[in-house]
Structure 1
């Protein structure tokens, strides 16, 4: 296990393998294996950002009364040791919780609308079936990636793969999975790319629909 001393205290290097930003806690897994430790937002040194899954951190590990490891004196990789400011100078105002996006509702309503339009014959079947199949694939990909996130020896699903599935039409399923399995919702860069894929997909589908290309594909594939 990567360890170093800092003022007499043994410190470790690891990566946040799970993080619940709404509740402000998660787990950190040491780089070279070993027991993962519980980490709380209050254990982090003052910083300009909140933790996210995948962040590299250094920390001291202290067992609690039940023998479970807790990460303390947590710093992001490369962050300098800061001297705590006097109590009167600290901003003691509670942080506002992040705005929740009703991901399950949005994804479910969109798929329901797709099915409805397909049933009445307004939407070409190739588009409707494409959304349903790709959404199932995207949901499965998110779920598997979440499952192996805390297992260093397991290979993660590349973010590019998730984005490709979403871009092709799986974004409703990906959106639902993000809320259900609590995955990729707090990583800002991923969310920005995700919503871009949603916009690009909707624009592309609208063009295929209006130009009659989707209807042609439907007749060719389904007869």
Structure 2
């Protein structure tokens, strides 16, 4: 489906950028190999593109073309006789040099950032619940090491997915990220969202994320309290 949008970020070093369109809630990724313009992309450029979705990755733009060039009529090629005569009267035109732009992080307008206060208080309660389970003999001590390893793994998976998003590579499915949080890696996921600025402002993802936090804490509390046995 063809859509219109504006280039809000272009990284000339890595040869990729993002397009913002009123028809798509998330910013659309595109690579230089999918760009059809005569000059280099730049921030603020109005374009048309074909939007696709691959697996669990975000939207991607194909056949990106500046609106100013869309539908332009092809210029007739000069004949062999007229070319030398025209060259004597017209100065040679130099190819325009691509303008270098300062790269800035695109603003994500899909929702407000997650507040730190409630999350930290919930983490303290989670740690206290684990400590109570160890002290009361309801949880084996190896659970402490497993919880630490799971949170480190979750943070690492978020970092890998962040790098894949920046380089246009295959992404980790959001369902896999939610499963890690539901298993007990939600504190590591929260720190990854805040420190790496990844998945921190997408409303749909955050809604499911907090649902997994509530389910995990409720299940842990029921186990420690002896209600699940």
TM-score w.r.t. length of structure 2:
0.52
Q: Does 1:102 align with 2:116?
A: yes
Secondary structure class of the residue paired with 1:177: helix
Structure-2 change in CA distance of 1:61 and 1:183 (3 Å)? farther
Q: How much has 1:173 moved relative to structure 2?
A: 0.5
Contact in 2 for aligned 1:62/1:69 (Cα 8 Å):
no
Please, which runs of 5 or more residues in structure 1 have no aligned partner? 17-24, 79-94, 215-223
Q: How much has 1:139 moved relative to structure 2?
A: 0.8
Q: Does 1:146 align with 2:162?
A: yes
In the alignment, what sits opposite 1:137?
153
Q: For 1:63-142, what aligned pairs fall within 5 Å after superposition?
A: 69-73=42-46, 98-102=112-116, 105=120, 109=124, 113=128, 117=132, 124-125=139-140, 126-142=142-158
Please, which runs of 5 or more residues in structure 2 have no aligned partner? 52-108
Contact in 1 for aligned 2:165/2:171 (Cα 8 Å):
yes
Q: How much has 1:71 moved relative to structure 2?
A: 4.0
Secondary structure class of the residue paired with 1:70: coil
In the alignment, what sits opposite 2:59?
none
Q: How much has 1:198 moved relative to structure 2?
A: 0.8
Structure-2 change in CA distance of 1:124 and 1:159 (3 Å)? same
In the alignment, what sits opposite 1:52?
26
Q: How much has 1:133 moved relative to structure 2?
A: 2.0
Structure-2 change in CA distance of 1:158 and 1:99 (3 Å)? closer
Q: Does 1:164 align with 2:138?
A: no
Secondary structure class of the residue paired with 2:45: strand
Secondary structure class of the residue paired with 2:200: coil
Q: For 1:29-44, what aligned pairs fall within 5 Å after superposition?
A: 35-37=15-17
Contact in 1 for aligned 2:155/2:188 (Cα 8 Å):
yes
Q: Does 1:177 align with 2:150?
A: no
- Number of positions where the alignment pairs a residue of Structure 1 with one of Structure 2: 165
Q: Does 1:202 align with 2:217?
A: yes
Structure-2 change in CA distance of 1:199 and 1:75 (3 Å)? farther
Structure-2 change in CA distance of 1:208 and 1:150 (3 Å)? same
Q: How much has 1:176 moved relative to structure 2?
A: 0.8
Q: How much has 1:124 moved relative to structure 2?
A: 2.3
- Please give the per-residue CA displacement for 1:68-116, whole angstroms capped at 9, x wherever unaligned: 72242368978xxxxxxxxxxxxxxxx9x82541177457645654675
Secondary structure class of the residue paired with 2:219: helix
TM-score w.r.t. length of structure 1:
0.53
